[in-house]
Copies of this chain bind each other. A is one copy, B any other.
């Protein structure tokens, strides 16, 4: 494909490998089946810690180059010790990160140059829900707003890239459409 051989790296994206990966998946759909994992350990109060290291993908067990340790906690105003971001803030980060990675990949695949991508994600939540006070108040965010600022090529092209990234974002799909969650407990 001429796009990839003429300009294999654009926006820091190795487009040749990206297109080769898509071709490999087309040849064998099993390659695309992934299973991601996080292992969490309670520390004290609302403070707990996840380790993210292994995952299954491309038909084999794999690991990240290093294990990532993430702390979560509540701030003092929510009766925590503020040892890390809150769980709901991690969701906002995940959404921004997924859309932004998609923007970089899609722009590169379309020969669109990016020089800057910034975003702010805000989520409104009424804690009456989780505190069990307000009937009819949901536990999670009522709404989330993502504000992107992009610089690079033609603004119209940049807008189209954001649209396509939204249409193909894993976290956008999870957050807007929901996912079935099964919970198992071993106690004692």
Contact = CB atoms under 8 A, between A and B. Distances in A.
A76 B33 CA distance: 16
Given A65-B82, A139-B170, A93 B32 contact: no
Contact of A182 (B89, B94, B134, B146): B146
A114 B24 CA distance: 48
A36 B88 contact: yes
Overall SS of chain A's interface: mixed
Interface in A60-85: 62, 64-65, 68, 70, 72-80, 82, 84-85
A180 B139 contact: no
Nearest to A106: B132
Contact of A188 (B36, B57, B158): B158
B185 A140 contact: no
A96 to B, nearest CB: 4
Interface string A113-140: 0101111111111111111111000111
A45 B120 CA distance: 19
- Give the most central of A36, A146, A156: most B CB within 10 Å: A36
Interface in A1-60: 11-14, 17-18, 21-22, 25-26, 29, 32-48, 50, 52, 55, 57-58
A93 B87 CA distance: 8
A144 B90 contact: no
Given A46-B101, A52-B85, A178 B175 contact: yes
